[in-house]
Amino acid sequence: MRRFAALILIPQLAAAAAEAPAATTPPVPAAVAQPIEIRPEDLRSFVAVLRAVKDGYVDPVDDSRLLQGAIAGVLADLDPHSAYLTAEELKQWDEDVQGLYGGLGIEVIGVDGELRVIAPIDDSPAARAGIRAGDAIIAIDGVAVAEREDEALDQLRGAPGSSVELSIQRGSEQELLSFKLTREVIMAQSVRTRWLEPGYAYLRLSMFQENTGVEFRDRVRKLKADGGALRGAVLDLRDNPGGVLQAAVEVCDALLEGGVVVKTDGRLASADGTYSAGPGDLLDGAPLVVLIDGGSASAAEIVAGALQDHQRALVVGKRSFGKGSVQNILPLESGGAIKLTTARYYTPSGHSIQAQGIVPDIVLSDVQLVREDSGPQIIESEATLSGHLEAVEPAATSAAPRDAELDTDYALSAALNALKAMVVARRQGGAARG
């Protein structure tokens, strides 16, 4: 997958762009249109560079390619998320939002001549191979990303069944890791739910697509219908790179009784907005823990920030990615588009998380759970002693099911323990208020 985390779609601005007549520049309301003032000497320098490349570059260069490169350069110099999209890339954006494409299932962003992994998508080739958030893709099929940075993103996609080899730098490790992956049809399922233990639900959001809000409500309702009384829930936003703003608002609307979810602030009136939740908490006020990490970005941070600011949830994990800017896709007459940063977003308390991230209420360290080897048994148990009394058991009861992932996922186990503490504290508080 491409840089899906960079897309936060403002409905008003997107609609204005779609309805505007085709133009060679992004549509901007006339009332706020800014004059373009280019000094003659700057224009002459630009033309001189184009002429020098056209006449002297080692291989012939098409004029259209030169101009598209110039446009891409203008946008790339603004910030890491603004970019020029060709018609093919725009088509891929649509696939990303809808969640169906051929590739590896990996969210990346270009940083200093490498592709930095924001997050692998759950149950994708990338995730199954063990690629992690924060990994840096240095080379694809033996060719350095820095040598073909403009094409590197496209190399991650391809026909299902085709293979690709990634060379990855992980943290401070000196030796590069090699992963040979087979592309698949990625049907990204953004919502997963299950029971961790009786009464304790696990709600996993891997990204925010157009239908995530509806899917979230449907799956939570089904889980409650199948599993009985709900004591509390863990909302897992780890390695969630973000996506569509409206989907994040809809998820918050399902978990809040009301109030502001997020505010956007930009230079255009259509980029300013306040998004709020209506009444009705899908969990009926049950305690909620939100899990985040360094791979939680954009729309995932909107959800975590809103639930934290409204004191609806306890946020547990690591500081999030810190992407607090808003992008919109503005179409061009050529069939392509520009992805332009149009606003910053703010949590309900007015906090900008740009380059700051969401700070968890409980910060967790990097710990891996492993089963302890009990070793040789030195002291015998009562059952091994000769002549011990036989046990008399009450009527047999079935063991309570417990999710196996709790034995290996430290953060998830810690979140469940925190959730149980919240349930106990609420019960004791209710009894004390009696």
Least reliable range by pLDDT among 50-54, 58-62, 273-277, 332-336: 332-336
Predicted confidence (pLDDT) at residue 259 exceeds the cutoff of 90: yes
Q: Please compute the mean of the pLDDT values over residues 36-55 and round it to a whole number.
A: 92
pLDDT of residue 140: 94
CATH of the domain spanning 191-324+344-363, picked from 3.10.129.10, 3.90.226.10, 3.40.50.720, 2.70.240.10: 3.90.226.10
Q: Please compute the mean of the pLDDT values over residues 143-165 and round it to a whole number.
A: 87
Predicted confidence (pLDDT) at residue 198 exceeds the cutoff of 70: yes
Q: Please compute the mean of the pLDDT values over residues 59-78 and round it to a whole number.
A: 91
pLDDT of residue 260: 98
pLDDT of residue 254: 98
Same fold yes or no, 108-187 and 191-324+344-363: no
Predicted confidence (pLDDT) at residue 7 exceeds the cutoff of 70: no
pLDDT of residue 36: 85
pLDDT of residue 433: 42
pLDDT of residue 180: 96
pLDDT of residue 48: 94
Predicted confidence (pLDDT) at residue 283 exceeds the cutoff of 70: yes
Predicted confidence (pLDDT) at residue 209 exceeds the cutoff of 70: yes
* Contact yes or no for 85/105 (Cβ under 8 A): no
Q: Which of 309, 318, 325, 409 is catalytic?
A: 309
pLDDT of residue 367: 64
141, β-bridge pairs: none
Q: Taking the domains of the chain in order of start, what are their residue ranges?
A: 108-187, 191-324+344-363
Q: Six-digit token pair at 95?
A: 């696939």
Q: How many CB atoms lie within 10 A of CB 38?
A: 8
pLDDT of residue 257: 97
Predicted confidence (pLDDT) at residue 296 exceeds the cutoff of 80: yes
pLDDT of residue 411: 96
Q: Which residue has the higher pLDDT, 417 or 86?
A: 417
Q: Please compute the mean of the pLDDT values over residues 137-142 and round it to a whole number.
A: 94
pLDDT digits over 381-432, tens only?
A: 666 666 667 766 554 433 457 898 899 899 999 999 999 999 999 988 765 4
pLDDT of residue 95: 75
Q: Six-digit token pair at 90?
A: 């725009």
Q: Does the global pTM surpass 0.95?
A: no
Q: Which of 206, 296, 298, 320 is catalytic?
A: 298
pLDDT of residue 224: 93
* Contact yes or no for 239/4 (Cβ under 8 A): no
108-187 belongs to CATH 3.40.50.1370: no
Q: Please compute the mean of the pLDDT values over residues 225-252 and round it to a whole number.
A: 94
pLDDT of residue 56: 95
Q: Which of 320, 323, 325, 409 is catalytic?
A: 323
Instruction: Please calculate the CA angle 88-92-98 and round it to the nearest 5 degrees.
Output: 145
Residue 347's identity, in one-letter code, is T
pLDDT of residue 218: 96
pLDDT digits over 95-111, tens only?
A: 777 767 889 988 788 88
Predicted confidence (pLDDT) at residue 16 exceeds the cutoff of 50: no
Average per-residue pLDDT for the chain:
85
Predicted confidence (pLDDT) at residue 49 exceeds the cutoff of 80: yes
309 is catalytic: yes
Predicted confidence (pLDDT) at residue 340 exceeds the cutoff of 90: yes
First to last CA, the chain: 53
Q: Please compute the mean of the pLDDT values over residues 230-234 and round it to a whole number.
A: 97
Q: What percent of the chain has pLDDT over 90?
A: 58
pLDDT of residue 4: 39
323 is catalytic: yes
163 is catalytic: no
Distances (CA, A) of 157 to 95, 152, 160, 184, 226: 12, 10, 9, 9, 38
Q: Please compute the mean of the pLDDT values over residues 167-194 and round it to a whole number.
A: 90
Q: What percent of the chain has pLDDT over 70?
A: 83
Predicted confidence (pLDDT) at residue 375 exceeds the cutoff of 80: no
pLDDT digits over 182-191, tens only?
A: 999 887 678 9
Predicted confidence (pLDDT) at residue 22 exceeds the cutoff of 50: no
pLDDT of residue 368: 62
pLDDT of residue 13: 45
Q: Which residue has the higher pLDDT, 12 or 388?
A: 388
Least reliable range by pLDDT among 109-113, 305-309, 380-384: 380-384
